[in-house]
Amino acid sequence: MDRIPRGGEWGGQPPQRLQSLGLTHFQYAEGDHVGQLLALASLAPVFLVVAETTIVFSRREVAGILLLAGQLLNEAFNLALKLAIREERPYWNLGDGYGMPSSHSQFMGFFVLYVVLYFERRVVAHTVHKRAVQLGAVVLGALVVVSRVYLGYHTVLQVLVGVGVGLASGAAWYAFTEAVVRPGGIVDAALATYPCRWLLIRDSHGIPDIALAEYCLSMATKQKTM
C-alpha cells in the first residue's frame, strides 16, 4: 500500500516537520476519561469567543459588542503580562509560550465575573434562568481552571494568578462600561453614526426583559399581517 505524501513531499520536495495547532490541541493520558473531559473543557474559551462573535453579528447588540471587546482586551493584557514575566510552563513539551499567568484561567475569570455581574444587575426577569446561567458560567470556569493544572499545562500558582487577574479585569471592564461608557454618552454617540445605523446596531440596555419584548413585538406584528 502506497504511503500518502504530506505537505512538502508533494512534487518531489523533501518532507517537512509537522506541527499541530496549539489553540485546539490538548494532550491527556491514554485511557484517562477525566483527562479527556477536562481536555474538552479546555476548549471552552475558543467556543466562547466564537459564540460571542456570533452574538455580535446576529444580534447586533451593544452589550455583546462590549463583552467581546473586553474579552479581547483581556487577552491582549494577558499576552503583555506573559512577555513581561516570562515564566516557563511546568513541562516544556506542553503548550506554547510562557505560562504566567494562565491565559485560559484569565479568560474564564473575566468571562465569569462579567456574566455574573451583567445578569445580576441587568436581567430582572426569569430568576431561575438567571441563576442557571450564572451557575453554569462558574462551573464551566472552574472546570477550565482545574483542567490546566490536571493536564500539566500550568502550575497552581499560574492558574490562580490568571483567575485573579481575570476577575479584576472583568470587574474593571464592567465598571468602566457602566460608569463611563454609557453615562458618558459614548454609546449614544456611536449609535448615531452612519455605520452603526447602516449595520442596525442597537442598544436594548433599558429593556428589562428583551426576550419578552421581542416576543410581544413578534406576536403583535403577526396579528397585524393576518
Read off the pLDDT of each residue in 167-195 and give the average, rounded to a whole number. Answer: 92
Specify the length of the chain in residues. 226
What pLDDT, in 10s, does the model give residues 66-105?
999 999 999 999 999 999 998 888 876 666 778 899 999 9
Sign of CA dihedral 173, 130, 112, 69: negative
DSSP 165-207: HHHHHHHHHHHHIIIIITTTTHHHHHHTSHHHHHTT-B--TT-
Q: What is the mean pLDDT of the chain?
A: 84
Residue 11 has pLDDT above 80, yes or no: no
What pLDDT, in 10s, does the model give residues 127-153?
788 889 899 999 999 999 998 898 888
Smallest Cα–Cα separation from 89: which of 98, 102, 80, 79? Answer: 98
- Separation in Å, CA 209 to CA 123, 215, 220: 7, 10, 17
Cell of 203: 442598544
Confidence of residue 176 (pLDDT cuts 50, 70, 90): very high
Q: What pLDDT sits at residue 111?
A: 96
Q: What's the pTM?
A: 0.82
What pLDDT, in 10s, does the model give residues 104-123?
999 999 999 999 999 888 77
3-state secondary structure at position 4: coil
Q: What pLDDT sits at residue 146?
A: 92
Using an 8 Å Cβ cutoff, are 42 and 36 in contact? no
Confidence of residue 15 (pLDDT cuts 50, 70, 90): low
Q: Where are the domains of the chain?
A: 33-218
Confidence of residue 31 (pLDDT cuts 50, 70, 90): confident
Residue 58 has pLDDT above 70, yes or no: yes
Q: Per mean pLDDT, which of 12-26, 50-64, 202-216 is the most reliable?
A: 50-64
Interior CA angle at 60 toward 186 and 211, to 5°? Answer: 105
The most distant pair of C-alpha atoms in the chain lies apart, rounded to whole Å, by 70
Residue whose entry in the numeric block shows the C-alpha cell 461608557? 181
Read off the pLDDT of each residue in 206-222 and give the average, rounded to a whole number. Answer: 76
Read off the pLDDT of each residue in 171-175 and give the average, rounded to a whole number. Answer: 95
What pLDDT, in 10s, does the model give residues 150-169?
888 889 999 999 999 999 99
